[in-house]
Structures are given as structure tokens and as C-alpha cells.
Amino acid sequence: MFRSILPLFILAGPFIEIAGFIIVGSEIGVLATLGLIVLSAVLGFVLLRIQGISLLKKIKAETAAGRVPDREMVHGAMLVLAAILLIIPGFVSSTIGLLLFLPPVRDFVWKHFVRNRMIVATSANYSGNFYQGQNSPHNPDQDSNIIDIDPSDYTTTPSKNSPWRNKDDQNDRNV
């Protein structure tokens, strides 16, 4: 349902924002409208910095406790989206951005739209054993799409005969 409406919303978004400018501008005036747009952008930068730092501390605490910080990472992505929506000129996008800055709204999105669709697989002990996120139904031992390589399986030293070397490297080779 949402996927079929999303392209329509993206196409209609600029028209909705223009209508918002016209409505707000006719009520409070052009200069006040422009002031609100600039204030919205500044607010986006400030809120991202304040909430971003506290979110990084939460991610660090979850990782130190041995848990996968899946919820915190999704909250971080929503904070970045919220800041972008506040920075983009428009009243509708700024309203959605402000709503995403509220932790209860992010928790609602996390619980009802993201948590059951997210798969987190991490390797924390460097022995090839995977630790799973709390809500992940994924079992890497049964998944044939995972390729686990050791450092001995690859090299970071470029081959002298590689066709992917740049011209400066080839000139060095011919000397």
C-alpha cells in the first residue's frame, strides 16, 4: 500500500510545499515566511548535533554491553532524515522532520515499520561466529548468500600485471 503511494507523494511533494508557502505567506507575510524557513534549517542543524551526540553515546553503551545497537542505528538514520527534512525549504517537510526528532515518534516507526523487517548480522569475536540482533530471524549458518573470508584469502598489495592500475603505476612498471 505505502509503496504504491510513495511515488505519488514524491511527485506531489513540491506542489504541496508551494501551496504551504502560499498559505503561510498570505497569513504572516513574505519576510516572516522566509524567516521561518531559515529558522527551520538552523533548527535542523542544531537538533541533529544535540541528539546525534546523545545517540552516539547510546550506541557506544549498547555495544559495550555486548548488544547489537540495531534500534539506536535506525534512530540515527531517522535523525539524519529528520535533519534533512528540516533543512529542505518547506513547511510540510519541516513538520515531518520535527515529528521525527521526537523519540516517541521514532519508537513508533521502529516498532511498527522497521523492527520486524530488519536483519542484523555482526561478527564480534573475530572467530567467524556471528551474533544476531535481538529481533532478527536470520540464521547465517543456513544462509548460502554469506561469504566469510579470512585475511589470508585476499591481499591489499596490487598486482604489477593488473589491467586496473592507473597510468602512473604503469609508467613505473615500464621503467
**pLDDT per residue as tens digits for the range 34-70:** 999 999 999 988 988 888 788 888 888 888 888 878 8
Strands (E), the chain: 121-122, 131-132
Distance between CA 73 and CA 95 in Å, rounded? Answer: 22
Residue 19 has pLDDT above 90, yes or no: yes
pLDDT in tens, 106-154: 889 888 888 777 776 665 544 444 444 444 444 545 556 667 777 777 7
- Structural domain includes residue 58: yes
Structural domain of 63: 8-136
Question: In this structure, are residues 85 and 40 in contact, taking their beta carbons and an 8 Å threshold?
Answer: no
Indicate the number of domains in the chain: 1
Whether 113 is in a domain gets the answer yes
Strand, helix or coil at 132? strand
Instruction: Kindly give, in sequence order, each residue whose CB lies less than 8 Å from that of residue 36, ignoring residues fewer than 6 positions away.
Output: 24, 28, 91
3, part of any domain: no
Task: Please state, in angstroms and rounded to a whole number, the distance separating the CA atoms of residues 76 and 120.
Answer: 15
Domain assignment of residue 159, yes or no: no
Mean pLDDT of 69-94: 88
Residue 171 lies in a domain: no
The answer as to whether 166 is a domain residue is: no
Distance CA 131, CA 140 (A): 9
Does any domain span residue 162?
no
Q: What is the pTM of this model?
A: 0.61
User: What are residue 132's phi and psi, to 5 degrees?
Assistant: -100, 150
Answer whether residue 160 is part of any domain: no
Residue 75 has pLDDT above 60, yes or no: yes
DSSP structural state of residue 97? H
